């Protein structure tokens, strides 16, 4: 049985035919223009192509998301590096102000004792700020020489027998920041 279907703006008439398949069931055949009428299920090849397209799309989205994450992380690290010492510098600004006031007052002062007291107060203020930030002064004089903490400048004869191998004098203090040595103490060791 053949049916003719005529659309008003179509140049080629479409025909559909009912054909019996191998099982004896009646089903639609292909249209006259060679396209499938949509009643057949998608083939395995079409399913795989669709899955591949979805996988590629998912991969591209994931790659773009990772690339954006990487760029954002790099930018955040750069920003953090630029401002990592900001809190310490802000805490030290009052000490800088105190030094400027002390220098201005030295021009008019005739007595040295108040100037010494003022400088000692500024030093105490600076030490307190650095201690709050995690800086700790190492005590070296009288301790056993430790190459992990001390840098020996020279050896001198020990003043007493119990000072042999111990730190006799300290040229520069050593410092630890949060339990990690940031400057070794420069010391003189008794031999």
Write the DSSP assignment of 90-143 as a string of letters.
HHHHHHHHHHHHHHHHHTT---HHHHHHHHHHHHHHHHHHHHHTTEEEPP-TTS
Q: What is the model's pLDDT at position 30?
A: 46
Domain boundaries, the chain: 45-83, 85-133, 137-191
> Hey, what are 149's tokens?
């903490």
Helices 86-106, 112-132: inter-axial angle, 10-degree rounding: 180
For 76, the enclosing helix (H) or strand (E) is helix 44-83
Q: What is the model's pLDDT at position 51?
A: 93
Q: What is the model's pLDDT at position 39?
A: 56
pTM, full prediction: 0.52
Rounded Cα gap, residues 92 and 86, in angstroms: 10
137-191 CATH, one of 2.30.22.10, 3.40.50.1820, 3.20.20.70, 3.30.1360.30: 2.30.22.10
- The tens place of each residue's pLDDT in the chain, 191 residues long, gives 455 555 444 444 444 445 455 555 555 444 444 455 555 678 999 999 999 999 999 999 999 999 999 999 999 998 888 877 788 888 888 888 888 888 888 878 788 888 888 888 989 999 998 888 888 888 888 888 888 888 888 888 888 888 888 888 888 888 888 888 888 988 888 88
């Amino acid at each position: 049985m053949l049916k003719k279907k005529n659309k008003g703006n179509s140049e080629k008439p479409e025909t559909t035919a009912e054909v019996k398949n191998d099982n004896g069931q009646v089903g639609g055949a292909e249209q006259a223009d060679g396209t499938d009428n949509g009643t057949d299920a998608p083939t395995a090849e079409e399913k795989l192509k669709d899955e591949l397209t979805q996988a590629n799309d998912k991969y591209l989205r994931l790659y773009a998301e990772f690339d954006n994450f990487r760029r954002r992380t790099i930018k955040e690290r750069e920003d953090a590096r630029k401002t990592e010492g900001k809190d310490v510098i802000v805490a030290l600004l009052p000490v800088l102000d105190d030094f400027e006031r002390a220098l201005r007052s030295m021009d008019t002062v005739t007595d040295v004792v108040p100037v010494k007291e003022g400088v000692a107060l500024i030093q105490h203020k600076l030490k307190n700020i650095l201690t709050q930030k995690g800086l700790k002064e190492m005590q070296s004089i009288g301790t056993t020489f430790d190459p992990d903490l001390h840098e020996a400048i020279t050896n001198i004869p020990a003043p007493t027998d119990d000072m042999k191998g111990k730190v006799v004098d300290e040229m520069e203090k050593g410092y630890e920041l949060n339990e990690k040595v940031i400057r070794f103490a420069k010391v003189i060791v008794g031999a």
